[in-house]
A and B are shown apart, each in its own frame.
Chain A
Amino acid sequence: MPDAAGCWGPEPGADAVVKAAWDALAGVMDPEIPVLSIVDLGIVRAVSADADGRLAVALTPTYSGCPATGVIVLEAETALARAGLDARVSVVIAPPWTTDWISDTGREKLAEVGIVPPPHSGKRSLTAPDEVIACPRCGSTDTRQISRFGSTACKALHACNACLEPFDVFKCH
């Protein structure tokens, strides 16, 4: 579970090998939004070690058809092997990924590169159409949605009526 700062990582008191795995995974970047690590994105669901120190890592896809999933699994396996860890990576689909699992650090990183981070959903799974979204460049709340579907499955395209710049919004999911 995430800690007080909203960061994912090993449970307190976890084995050294589990901690090492989380560290290695924190260095794997999402191929489509390379400012976010897969840990920031909240798609590392579980890391556990058996008695012999052999690791089991569970990842979850963001969207069902996300074409990056295969690459992410491969890169996670590579990073774990490079760290000298004996790990098996599997993909789990339940419970379904939600943008609520994006860490606070991840949200800050998104905002820094001009992608509006998703709001916390509560019970909603979609961005409400009447939601006020501030332009990440000039801060104006006079913005409009250009397209529900953006450059990746997880984003929508908006534009600012004040500074006229288009920008990406991470969809609440």
Chain B
Amino acid sequence: MSTDLKEALFGYTLRLGDTSLVLGHRLSEWCGHAPELEEDIALTNVALDLVGHARMLLTYAGELEGKGRDEDRLAYRRDVFDYRNHLLVEQPNRDFGHTIVRQFLHDAWAVELYERLCASTDTTLAGIAAKAVKEVRYHVRHSGDWLVRLGDGTDVSHAKVADALGRLWPYTGEMFERDEAEQALVAAGIVPDPADLKAAWTARVEAVLEDATLDRPADGWMQKGGRRGEHSEHLGYLLAEMQFLPRAYPDATW
């Protein structure tokens, strides 16, 4: 692999790893606070899967970078500006409906992405995707079913998820952004074309929104910046909590 391509793949893997890690951490904040025990367990199980994906992806990113950074170093020793996750996943949990909308918009993207990444010409990435896709298929069914239940539920639940959908929609455009580096990865058959991904994601999302009696928001202004390290104010607080221990006790080991 050429140096440029390797660097592009490092960036891609890091973005995907950071996105999984940040969303996994967000979901773990529900531990002990979910509206019912079953959902407490469900959200934290999904969190566990996502942190597992992040570990595989960040380990691989560290190998591609070749500077000796392992998964922990990447997760715990980078500040906000070095994180490359989607802005969508750092948005706070707010209420359960808001969490479900955020999760569904992400899951629908993740399942389409990993299904395509299974065919990547990069065997490591294909191996991670084959592992992750089985779990993500389960996640998208769970978040999709809840979205239908809440959207097609009471007036209150409908209003809450409709509000969340409007609030979160402007963060979805970023998932399909592509730059020159990513274009080279597409050309090499390493990653799928974001345009294909967007069409598949849109079809999946629209079908569930219809069942949920929710209107698809119009594509207006889209918030971007995650891939350049320009984040909302929420990520700093999340990292402060997640990174507290290794920052306070840098040499601590289990």
Contacts and interface: CB of A to CB of B under 8 A. Distances in A.
Interface of A: 61, 63-67, 93-96, 125-126, 146-151, 153, 157, 171, 173
B52 A149 contact: no
A147 B130 contact: no
Interface of B: 24, 38, 41-42, 45-53, 55-56, 123, 126-128, 130-135, 137-138, 141-142
Contacts of A126: 134, 137-138, 141
B130 A64 contact: no
B41 to A, nearest CB: 5
Contacts of A147: 38, 41-42
A64 B53 contact: yes
Contacts, number: 69
Nearest to A97: B131
Nearest to A147: B38
B22 to A, nearest CB: 15
Nearest to B132: A64
A94 B130 contact: yes
A64 B131 contact: yes
27 contacts: A63-B49, A64-B53, A64-B55, A64-B131, A64-B135, A65-B47, A65-B50, A65-B53, A65-B55, A67-B48, A93-B127, A93-B128, A94-B123, A94-B130, A94-B131, A95-B130, A96-B127, A125-B137, A126-B138, A146-B38, A147-B41, A147-B42, A148-B142, A149-B42, A149-B46, A153-B45, A173-B134
B41 A150 contact: yes
Contacts of A157: 38
B38 A149 contact: yes
10 closest pairs, A vs B, by CB? A65-B52, A64-B52, A94-B127, A65-B48, A147-B38, A149-B42, A149-B45, A96-B131, A125-B134, A96-B130
Nearest to A173: B134
